[in-house]
Amino acid sequence: ATPTALMVGTGRGAQLGILIKGPEVLEQTRRVDTVVLDKTGTVTTGRMALLDVVPAAGEDREEVLRVAGALEAASEHPVARAVAEAAAQAGPLPAVEGFANVEGLGVQGVVEGRAVVLGRPRLLADWSQELPDDLAAARASAESEGRTAVAVGWDGRARGLLVVADAVKPTSAEAVRRLRALGLRPVLLTGDNAAVARAVAAEVGIDADAVVAEVLPQDKVDVVARLQAEGRVVAMVGDGVNDAAALARADLGLAMGTGTDVAIEASDLTLVRGDLRAAADAIRLARRTLGTIK
Ligand code: ADP
Ligand code: MG
């Protein structure tokens, strides 16, 4: 394509709400055949709501929420915001000391002298805080409905389960249809549990065998690399700090404009409005600009 065509292409992109880092990006965009989609904040709104608090036998529901909320108040994660907001509505939250984020798994810290851990049940298991049968059952039932269950424990025991869910963006199913119409294969990639991931995939029209769940943030990049090793030309769409390495590694990185700066910096394209349909627009635009389709 001529430099003029490329400039027109990038200008047209801006009109469509697509910020393109440089004209050369259009060439990468044109060749893409696989689109890896992050789930939380990309396919879904990322605005989670707390649906349920399940105390373990002998625990107090309000106390479970208060301690969990205190810890989550120090985290930016969508799950954390849902828990902290609901807890703050019930009353003042105690301070946290020694707060630490455990990437892709949860958080830990000291609340009123208790060593608290909160996140994926796997994280609690690492602390020898296996879920008792009642919480395990509540977890299975929440996950079968496509909800995310995180657990909170302190002083050596799991104390309760917090059930959260967010909604698929109203434009995501249409976006997946448009990507397919362009001949691209959509893949859903997430750190969330497999049951939730499958439910979201079904809702937007992604095949069950194209769902990769329970992936730690540092391993998301390996999923992209594996597809590339299979000969795929991979676009990755994401919004979070946990997506940055995969966005950089992908042949084409697309960041949600509603996402974190780290994701935007790691990407070639930014979808300004956080609307996944713009990913399909970007690919069509590149093919047109470079004369592959009319
Ligand atoms: P995604 O890949 O869907 O954007 P993340 O990698 O950010 O998800 O997180 C994976 C999982 O780890 C979440 O679904 C949640 O279960 C758990 N998790 C991570 N951070 C937190 C937190 N601050 N509080 C509770 N759970 C968390
Ligand atoms: Mg995300």
Which ligand gives the minimal distance to the CA of 42? 2
Contact 215, 190 (CB under 8 A): yes
Tell me the per-residue pLDDT of 39-83, one tens digit each, with 9 for 90 and over. Answer: 999 999 999 999 999 999 999 999 999 999 999 999 989 999 999
Q: How far is CA 180 from CA 1, 34, 131, 184, 210, in A?
A: 25, 10, 41, 5, 13
Tell me the per-residue pLDDT of 5-42, one tens digit each, with 9 for 90 and over. Answer: 777 778 888 888 999 988 888 888 888 999 999 999 99
Contact 198, 208 (CB under 8 A): yes
Which ligand gives the minimal distance to the CA of 274? 2
Q: Is the CB of 118 under 6 A from ligand 1?
A: yes
Paired residues of 152 in beta bridges: 118, 160
Q: What superfamily does domain 3-45+168-289 belong to in CATH?
A: HAD superfamily/HAD-like (3.40.50.1000)
38 tagged catalytic: yes
Tell me the per-residue pLDDT of 164-198, one tens digit each, with 9 for 90 and over. Answer: 999 999 999 999 999 999 999 999 999 999 999 99
pLDDT in the model for residue 107: 98
Q: Whose CA is nearest to atom 4 of ligand 1?
A: 40
Q: Is the CB of 239 under 6 A from ligand 1?
A: no
Tell me the per-residue pLDDT of 100-109, one tens digit each, with 9 for 90 and over. Answer: 999 899 999 9
| Distance (Å) from CA 143 to ligand 2 centroid | 19
Tell me the per-residue pLDDT of 260-273, one tens digit each, with 9 for 90 and over. Answer: 999 999 999 999 99
Which ligand gives the minimal distance to the CA of 256? 2
pLDDT at 147 over 50: yes
Q: What superfamily does domain 49-165 belong to in CATH?
A: Calcium-transporting ATPase, cytoplasmic domain N (3.40.1110.10)
Q: What is the ipTM of this complex?
A: 0.94
What average pLDDT does this structure show over 200-214?
A: 96
pLDDT in the model for residue 294: 44
pLDDT in the model for residue 146: 86
Task: Enumerate the domain spans of the chain.
Answer: 3-45+168-289, 49-165
| Distance (Å) from CA 286 to ligand 1 centroid | 34
Q: Whose CA is nearest to atom 18 of ligand 1?
A: 106
Q: Which of 33, 38, 52, 126 is catalytic?
A: 38
- The atom of ligand 1 lying closest to the CA of 72 is 23
Contact 130, 31 (CB under 8 A): no
Residues 6+ apart with CB under 8 A from 252: 25, 28, 29, 32, 234, 235, 236, 268, 269
- Average pLDDT over the chain, rounded to an integer: 94
Q: Indicate the residue type of 63.
A: E
Paired residues of 186 in beta bridges: 35
